Amino acid sequence: MTVEASADDVKSAPRTPRRTARAAVTIALLVAAVPLVVVLGMAVGQVVLAPGDVVDALGRGLTGQPATTEAARLADTVVWQLRAPRALLGFCVGAILALSGAALQAVVRNDLADPYLLGITSGASLGAAAVIALGVGALAGTIGTSGGAFLGALLALAIVLVLVGPRRRLGSGRLVLAGLAVGYALSAVTNLIVVLSDNRDAIRAITFWMLGSLGQAAWDDLPLVAAALVAALGVLVMWGRRLDAIGLGDDVARSLGSDPDRLRRHVAIVTAVAIAAAVAVSGSIGFVGLVVPHLARGLVGATHRLLLPTSALLGGILLVAADTLARTVLAPREIPLGILTALLGTPLLLLLIARRTRDA
Q: What is the mean pLDDT of each run of 10 residues along the chain (360 residues)?
A: 40 61 91 96 91 93 89 92 95 96 91 85 88 63 73 90 72 80 92 86 82 89 95 96 86 81 89 91 90 92 94 97 92 88 86 73
Does any domain span residue 40? Answer: yes
How remote is the C-alpha of 176 from its chain's centroid? 18
Does any domain span residue 86? Answer: yes
Range of the domain at 95: 7-359
pLDDT, tens digit (0-9, with 9 covering 90-100), for 207-235? 888 888 898 888 999 999 999 999 999 99
Q: How many residues does this entry show for the chain?
A: 360
Tell which residue, 87, 30, 27, 25, has the closest CA to residue 237.
Answer: 27
What pLDDT, on the 0 to 100 scale, is given for residue 247?
81
What pLDDT, on the 0 to 100 scale, is given for residue 5?
41
Find all residues with CB under 8 Å of 256, minimum gap 6, and list them.
5, 6, 7, 10, 245
How many folded domains does the chain comprise? 1
What pLDDT, on the 0 to 100 scale, is given for residue 31?
96
Say how far apart CA 204 and CA 311 lie, in whole Å. 33
Does any domain span residue 196? Answer: yes
What pLDDT, on the 0 to 100 scale, is given for residue 168?
58
DSSP state at residue 329: T
Say how far apart CA 191 and CA 295 lie, in whole Å. 34
What pLDDT, on the 0 to 100 scale, is given for residue 36?
96
What pLDDT, on the 0 to 100 scale, is given for residue 226?
96
Give backbone dihedrals phi and psi of 127, rounded to 5 degrees, phi first.
Answer: -65, -45
What pLDDT, on the 0 to 100 scale, is given for residue 248?
80
Does any domain span residue 2? Answer: no
Say how far apart CA 322 and CA 242 lie, in whole Å. 33
C-beta of residue 211 within 8 angstroms of C-beta of residue 283 = yes
pTM summary value: 0.89
Does any domain span residue 17? Answer: yes
Tell which residue, 123, 117, 150, has the closest CA to residue 277.
Answer: 150
Tell which residue, 294, 290, 339, has the closest CA to residue 116.
Answer: 290
| Helix (H) / strand (E) containing 347 | helix 337-359
Domain harbouring 173, CATH code? 1.10.3470.10
What pLDDT, on the 0 to 100 scale, is given for residue 201?
80
Does any domain span residue 1? Answer: no
| End-to-end CA gap in the chain | 29
Across 69-79, b (16+ Cβ under 10 Å) vs e yields: eeebeebbebb
